[in-house]
Amino acid sequence: MLHCGVIERYREHLPVTESTHVISLNEGSTPLISAPNLSKAIHPRLDVWFKFEGLNPTGSFKDRGMTMAVTKALEEGFKAVICASTGNTSASASAYAARAGLKSVVLIPEGKIALGKLSQAMIHGAIVVQIKGNFDQALQLVRAITENHPIALVNSINPYRIEGQKTGAFEIVDDFDGRAPDFHVLPVGNAGNITAYWKGYREYNEAEKARNLPRMLGFQAAGAAPIVLGKPVKHPQTFATAIRIGNPASWAAAEKARDESGGLIDMVTDDEIRAAYKMMAATEGVFAEPASAAGIAGLIKVAQQGYFDDKEPFGGDRLRAVCILTGHGLKDPDSAIKAAEEPHTVEANEDAVLEAIGLCEPVTV
């Protein structure tokens, strides 16, 4: 069967009509990948799965929401879209806008977005405005601008973004034949995604397509953890630049998802994120960006605190956790190169190569 995008796949759950002209890049239907090595390392009764959202068309989960937001912007007669972004939203917005024939404007914090994401916005023809400030300030600016100008705001405060992103929950439940995971693990930045997933699980449960609901486990970076600390962070800091956010727009909805699901929102240090980032790539062969690793780091942290010891699975005899790997590792090559060992540089002869790879002693003449 020809692969289609999330609006076609889940049309009956989304606010579109027969006459809606759908703008899609065939996003969604991303794979659930088992993580046996990580599972073994984390907890004896836990099966960890990755939902690799880095395999979406622009390399992040944003495409699920952007197909809806841009489709509706076009339907409502807008000629341009705008967003504030730590990078991925700008990449996605500019790609979908290009496809729809709309102009796109993206506001990003100067010097704090990963190279791959910046290159995407540029090549898709967005007007890229780097502000001398952070994401929270950029979001304030685009909110103000769209109040007075006819430009569609495509940040996750746009309800269509949440509608599109909730399809991730549908896919997970469908892949597990109607069973939601016991734990849904994800990084939290502006808090749109945790809001969307919880909405998706609840709607699927109400439609009797999911037999149970997961506990939502969200993780912020310690230097950018307003929800955990209970107050905005004026100068958020973390090497996971995607979640470098101090005043999330969907703060209240994230707390609701946490509380209604019986889950938690906690924080992890940059060192913990870095360790998880390397571990995922080195032990499971899956390369996700640093922000995605915050979820894995959190899972490891709470497991070590005994969080899973008294939990029971919904079905079967093993607990199941799905971790959303929100963005592809290739988005941020600089972080990978900094985190890993440097390549060997040697002369172009066999002895030098053998020496570099530890297969023989250097030959001396």
User: Which stretches of the chain bind ligand F0G, using CB under 6 A?
Assistant: 60, 62, 85-89, 156, 187-193, 242-243, 289, 291-292, 326-327
What is the DSSP secondary-structure string of 319-330?
EEEEEEE-BBGG
Q: Which residues contact 251 (CB under 8 A, 6 or more apart)?
A: 191, 226, 227
User: CA–CA separation, 150 vs 43, rounded Å?
Assistant: 52
Pick the closer one to ligand F0G by CB: 43 or 168: 168
Dig out the tokens for 82 from the structure. 């705008």
- Closest contact distance (angstroms) between CB of 21 and ligand F0G is 25
Orientation angle between helical segments 62-75 and 88-100, nearest 10 degrees: 40
Q: Residue 153 or 319: which CB sits closer to ligand F0G?
A: 153
Q: Residue 78 Cβ, how far from ligand F0G at the closest point, in Å?
A: 20
Which CB sits closer to ligand F0G, 38 or 83?
A: 83
Minimal distance, residue 34 CB to ligand F0G, in Å:
21
User: What's the helix, strand, coil split of the chain in %, to 5?
Assistant: 45, 15, 40
Residue whose CB is less far from ligand F0G, 182 or 332 = 332
Which one, of 139, 191, 192, 200, lies nearest residue 167 by Cα? 200
Please report how close the Cβ of residue 117 comes to ligand F0G at its closest, in angstroms. Answer: 7
Helices (H), 12-87: 36-42, 62-75
End-to-end CA gap in the chain: 64
Question: What is the distance, to the nearest Å, from the Cα of residue 207 to the centroid of all Cα atoms in its chain?
Answer: 26
Distance (Å, whole) CA 125 – CA 128: 9
Give the C-alpha separation, 140 to 148, whole Å: 13
List Cβ neighbours of 262 (8 Å cut-off, separation of 6 or more): 215
* Shorter beta-carbon distance to ligand F0G: residue 43 or 290: 290
Cβ distance to ligand F0G smaller for residue 71 or 85? 85
Instruction: Determine the Cα–Cα distance for residues 65 and 74; give it in Å rounded to an integer.
Output: 14
Residue 93 C-beta: closest distance to ligand F0G, Å: 9
Is 90 or 319 the residue whose CB approaches ligand F0G more closely?
90
Q: What is the DSSP letter of 336?
A: H
Q: Could you tell me the smallest distance in angstroms from the CB atom of residue 10 to ligand F0G?
A: 19
How buried is residue 249: exposed, middle or buried, by Cβ count under 10 Å (0-12/13-18/19+)? buried
Asked if 294 contacts 276 with a C-beta cutoff of 8 angstroms, the reply is yes
How long is the chain? Answer: 365
CB closer to ligand F0G out of 24 and 89: 89
- What are residue 273's phi and psi, to 5 degrees? -65, -45
**Least Cβ distance, residue 189 to ligand F0G (angstroms):** 3
- Residue placing its CB nearer to ligand F0G in the complex, 194 or 319: 194
Minimal distance in Å, beta carbon 102 to ligand F0G?
Answer: 18
Min dist. Cβ of residue 294 to ligand F0G (A): 8
